[in-house]
Structure 1
């Protein structure tokens, strides 16, 4: 049976079952509530409440950098978490710009004196300035100085919007037709022989098995993190559960008592909101490094060849004496992509040597360009059960868990309600002692700018959809001429 038909059959049958149950429903969206996990959340919250509060404060500064530090400065009377966070950021900056042991020791002394002074004066402006400086120093090693300074001031939202703004200019100028944002289509399609969830407009297709596991892990970690911080602050949890589209899980929730949550202090609300994305970032980083440790650069296998002696399914070992491999990241991100020989590596040449597992051959560059290759993943370890390499499955799970968690964590920090980043921004703006009307105006401007950037980045998708509808209308008219 075709797997798409099977998927639709199971989806419809499962959805009809949910419709007939007493589960809360909004069209084909369902809220499946339970209280079974509340005891587990309570146990996790009781392990070390002080540690959870520190992690939440760290998440606030990580998310909003200088602005987050200025916000926490108002709450220095509740503890010294901000001092410890500034020490960690300062140490990272000093180590990143290592200039020898004397420099390290001198910088460490200056940092300690500075943090002690900040703790004494309790000035949000000073905390903002110092955190902005230290964070900008870290980012200067990775990006343009202007972006680094903005990141130091406003946090990860700059890292989110900077490439989107750049891509928006490329789209409006006609230099790019690639969307900057695109949804995952949670319906399996068979692409290049593999069932996966496609991302329209991008050469990315998420294998169904790995995608579902990664999505479930993401939802559990995100919502448990919210729930743990809520219980650390003694907020009641009414239920936990899943949000589903039919029978497909598309979200999870830990439901606090909303009235109690809204009445709680601003710091408590911000801590609870911050932990979801932070937990996803941590899981994403951990799984990424585990993936890099287990996975090795992939071998190149001939997929299509119209060249004598270069047989399909032969393994290409070197191209002009350079190893023929694709890095681990691109292997898994572009699962079904067919690769060609890098034009830069053969520029200006008439002939090149290609070595396969069947010999070395001298080819004209024009012929070599016609060869198409697929990747064959390789692993540091090989352990098979029933002919299945366990580490092949593990690397797939690790990569897509990283992919989902990093992307969702950043998206969730967008300063646009109903994302957590939008709700946090409302709380953070309160440090400026401005009226509610001004807060609403600031939030409205941020939302409009954010939506405009997202809309421009989605414009290629709109063009694709328009062309697709036009093709359908054309097919209809050809069968049923007017």
Structure 2
């Protein structure tokens, strides 16, 4: 085993046991002997100061529409939030024009229409008009976004159209149910052995300690990346709940962390339950929605930082860096090796040349280790495509070589922060309690002033559907566990 790996395991073990012993001596509330609930009032002071900044109620209203789409707009309209809705419509409208209209004439026409509708919403608010225009607007965004994320679905109108309609009306909870339903069909009818939902558990890969997901061997989060990402995720999520609680004059009893030993596995703010129950429904809704919205903001900020970092540190103009070389491949017989930089292929940019690579083609490679010549073969997985047998990446810019390890670590950390925040943000909008999404759906249903018995049956039906889908999506885990033991 590598010396540094052994040293890392030793240091981590010492810190874990010393930290756990320290928590035991502090008389923290404990569960199962090693899970600690650490309460503190220090976070409350920060939350109180942050809550005094302007704009939180508007941000929360925006988050409700972003999360629940048409029914979110309908709910806010019924709560007298039309002024904020007109501005939110304008923001969504600008974004819709940007992604859908690619000529200046269409963009200006779309923008004028958006401004007109925003003015009508502000001056003559009507609940059902607001529901319709927001649903249509978000449909234009959802359908375009779906095709951007899943370009192979261009012709699958039976998939994209219903999903886009459901998202435009019911928001991200509909996306969750749609995704779970799609994967449930794959498990039942196509025999998929990949779980649709999977817990994140401690894992070891190649002697390294980290976090992983059952059934997803390709996803392994090194332990320190995981801890840092979880701290950022949990802190932003819970602080956002706390800030909106203070905005609405609901006191916090405490804040704190839930830890496994010294490893954070949860965070919390503890609002005054009586105050939360007595406040108006839309205020509770704003408090519930801010946790997931904070996770999405962190994820998008991470994407922006990662984009800036990668664009500043790497450039395809520097060539192509060879990662690994497959045995008995054309690259193997041409003596290409890991770490080689390919500057040109047939006097052209290597990235451009590899886009449409055909088989049985002779290539002349200019590299930092001399010129190489090879002939492509048939790709083992893609019919009619050429194959040279390497993995590759973009080399770092000159002048930054001394910082390459730091940039690589920062890039990987940002990647895990983005992934975990997105996953938790989406999961937390699942439309069943105790998830925030379930509490939000209950508030929306309660605002319809239906008979209590009808409300109870609607909520039970939603819970039943989601639990059934979760069981089907988790079923492959049983086979994975049986194979392990």
Count of aligned pairs between the two proteins: 446
Question: Which residue of 413, 431, 449 corresponds with 1:433?
Answer: 449
1:260 and 1:434 map into 2 onto residues whose CA distance is 25
Is 1:419 aligned with 2:435?
yes
Query: What are the equivalent positions in structure 2 for 1:175-254 lying under 5 Å apart?
Result: 175-187=191-203, 189-191=204-206, 195-202=209-216, 203-254=218-269
Per-residue deviation, residues 28-50 of structure 1 (Å, max 9, x unmatched): 322100001211111111121xx
Partner SS, residue 258 of structure 2: strand
Which residue is 1:62 aligned to? 66
Q: Name whichever of 56-65 and 173-182 sits farther off.
A: 173-182
TM-score, normalised via structure 2 length = 0.82
Query: What are the equivalent positions in structure 2 for 1:303-452 lying under 5 Å apart?
Result: 304-306=326-328, 307-310=332-335, 312-315=337-340, 317=342, 349-350=359-360, 353=363, 355=365, 357-358=368-369, 359-363=371-375, 365=377, 373=390, 378-379=395-396, 383=400, 389-452=405-468
1:413 and 1:289 map into 2 onto residues whose CA distance is 23
- Gap change, CA 1:184 and 1:149, over 3 Å in 2: same
- Gap change, CA 1:456 and 1:317, over 3 Å in 2: farther
1:351 and 1:368 map into 2 onto residues whose CA distance is 16
Q: CA deviation at 1:421?
A: 0.7
1:268 and 1:381 map into 2 onto residues whose CA distance is 53
2:77 and 2:398 map into 1 onto residues whose CA distance is 48
Q: CA deviation at 1:5?
A: 6.8
Which residue is 1:97 aligned to? 100
The unaligned stretches of length 5 or more in structure 2 are 1-5, 147-159, 382-386
Q: CA deviation at 1:362?
A: 2.1
- Gap change, CA 1:56 and 1:380, over 3 Å in 2: farther
Question: Which residue of 28, 36, 47 corresponds with 2:42?
Answer: 36
Partner SS, residue 132 of structure 1: helix
1:151 and 1:350 map into 2 onto residues whose CA distance is 47
- Gap change, CA 1:445 and 1:102, over 3 Å in 2: same
Partner SS, residue 200 of structure 2: coil
Q: CA deviation at 1:20?
A: 4.4
Contact 2:396–2:404 (Cα < 8 Å) also in 1: no
Which residue is 1:141 aligned to? 144
1:458 and 1:352 map into 2 onto residues whose CA distance is 48
Per-residue deviation, residues 427-480 of structure 1 (Å, max 9, x unmatched): 0112322123222221222122222222222222221111112xxxxxxxxxxx
Contact 1:316–1:354 (Cα < 8 Å) also in 2: no
TM-score, normalised via structure 1 length = 0.82
- Gap change, CA 1:177 and 1:65, over 3 Å in 2: same
Contact 1:69–1:128 (Cα < 8 Å) also in 2: yes
1:367 and 1:53 map into 2 onto residues whose CA distance is 55
- Gap change, CA 1:254 and 1:324, over 3 Å in 2: farther
Which residue is 1:129 aligned to? 132
Contact 2:241–2:269 (Cα < 8 Å) also in 1: yes
2:476 and 2:364 map into 1 onto residues whose CA distance is 38
- Gap change, CA 1:96 and 1:367, over 3 Å in 2: closer
Q: CA deviation at 1:266?
A: 0.5
1:103 and 1:16 map into 2 onto residues whose CA distance is 66
1:441 and 1:10 map into 2 onto residues whose CA distance is 50
1:463 and 1:325 map into 2 onto residues whose CA distance is 41
Q: CA deviation at 1:406?
A: 1.2
- Gap change, CA 1:250 and 1:139, over 3 Å in 2: same
1:382 and 1:243 map into 2 onto residues whose CA distance is 43
1:26 and 1:194 map into 2 onto residues whose CA distance is 28
Q: CA deviation at 1:209?
A: 2.2
1:361 and 1:368 map into 2 onto residues whose CA distance is 21
RMSD: 3.2
1:170 and 1:5 map into 2 onto residues whose CA distance is 43
- Gap change, CA 1:302 and 1:114, over 3 Å in 2: closer
Contact 1:305–1:371 (Cα < 8 Å) also in 2: no
Query: What are the equivalent positions in structure 2 for 1:161-180 lying under 5 Å apart?
Result: 161-180=177-196
Question: Which residue of 115, 120, 135 corresponds with 1:117?
Answer: 120
Partner SS, residue 215 of structure 2: coil
Which residue is 1:21 aligned to? 26
Which residue is 1:334 aligned to? none
Partner SS, residue 67 of structure 2: helix
2:185 and 2:439 map into 1 onto residues whose CA distance is 28
Contact 1:283–1:405 (Cα < 8 Å) also in 2: yes
